Amino acid sequence: MAESPFGVYARIVRAQVRSQVQYRASFLLEVFGSMATNALDIASVFVLFSVAGGLGGFSGTEVMLMAALSAGAFATADMVVGNVDKLREYVRSGLFDSLLLRPLSSLAQLAALTFALRRSGRALQGMVFYVVALCVADIHWTVGRVLCAVFAPISGTVFFISLFVAGASVAFWWIESGEIANAFTYGGRDFTAYPNNMYGGWFRDFFTLGIGFGFVAYFPALALLGKSDPLGLPDWLLWFSPVVAVIAACLASLLWRVGVRHYRSTGS
């Protein structure tokens, strides 16, 4: 009789999808637009590899593994919470009130209410890309590496979800935050797609280790390939993606909770 909490959110998502489909022309345009973007993304990967062959001392298939892991994790996170930056509108209009009046998590409701069906294709494509990259890459499979291959995209997804949520939370304090959060989310996607050792100096250290972008694709890919970090990080650190993901999720959820307490509910 009692439905799982997940089932309730799934119902909200389905209602949201039904709402979107109501505006048929707009929905179809968005689907076609998204498909065209995806096609261009794939094309750009092929162009990159046909020209460069390899990057930062890694072969084409190795770079592809990093790119695929980054793309799969980002696209999945983007599908789940990519629109939570609409929190800005919810806070500005005071609409966030209605989420707080229901007996459900405000964050999960917001994610469900802003769920974009058109992004599911891209997430699926990212994961297929990842499986292909795993098959093509030169990996000596062990139990540890199989676990790593399974948990790496999950950790990466959780990491990006945390990033989206943390970025959106800023709106609780600063509604005019504009697109600043995107520098970290979409910027993070681009940063993690390439071998991190090719970036320079403090910029690399700050984003790879400080923010933790290295743990999305670069470090797990090194672990899968059995390579050491060319810049001399200890090998055991390469397996730490799930830990980093859990820390990121805790920090993001803390930020969200503090933000909700700080919510001012404008207007009448």
Partner 1 sequence: MIISARGLRKDFTVHRKVGRFRRERTVVSAVDGVDLTVERGEMVGYIGPNGAGKSTTLKMLTGVLSPSGGEVQVCGLEPVAKRTTLAKRIGVVFGQRSQLWWDLPLGESFSLLRHIYRVPETDHTARLKQCTELLALDEFIHTPVRQLSLGQRMRGELTAALLHGPEVLFLDEPTIGLDVLSKQAVRTFLSELDTRGDTTVVLTTHDLADIEKLCRRLVVIDHGKVVHDGTVDELHSRYRSRRTIVADLELPWPDGLTLPGAVVTAVEAEGRRVTLTLDGTAAGEVVAALAKAVPLRDLSVQEPDIEDVIARLYRDDN
Among 138, 231, 250, 264, binds partner 1 (CB under 8 A): 264
Binders of partner 1 in range 12-51 (CB under 8 A)? 12, 15, 18-19, 22-23
Q: How far is the CB of 21 from partner 1 (least distance, A)?
A: 9
97 binds partner 1 per the rule CB under 8 A: yes
Quick check: 263 binds partner 1 (CB under 8 A)?
A: yes
Cβ closest to partner 1, residue 220 vs residue 259: 259
Contacts with partner 1 by CB under 8 A: the residue count is 28
Q: Using CB under 8 A, which of 56, 60, 94, 121 touches partner 1?
A: 94
Rule CB under 8 A: choose which of 31, 45, 104, 175 binds partner 1.
104
Q: Which amino acid is at 42?
A: I
User: Which region among 46-54, 97-105, 145-153, 230-238 touches partner 1 (by CB under 8 A)?
Assistant: 97-105
257 sits near partner 1 (criterion: CB under 8 A): no
Residues lying near partner 1 in the complex (CB under 8 A): 1-3, 7-8, 11-12, 15, 18-19, 22-23, 94-95, 97-98, 100-105, 261, 263-265, 267-268
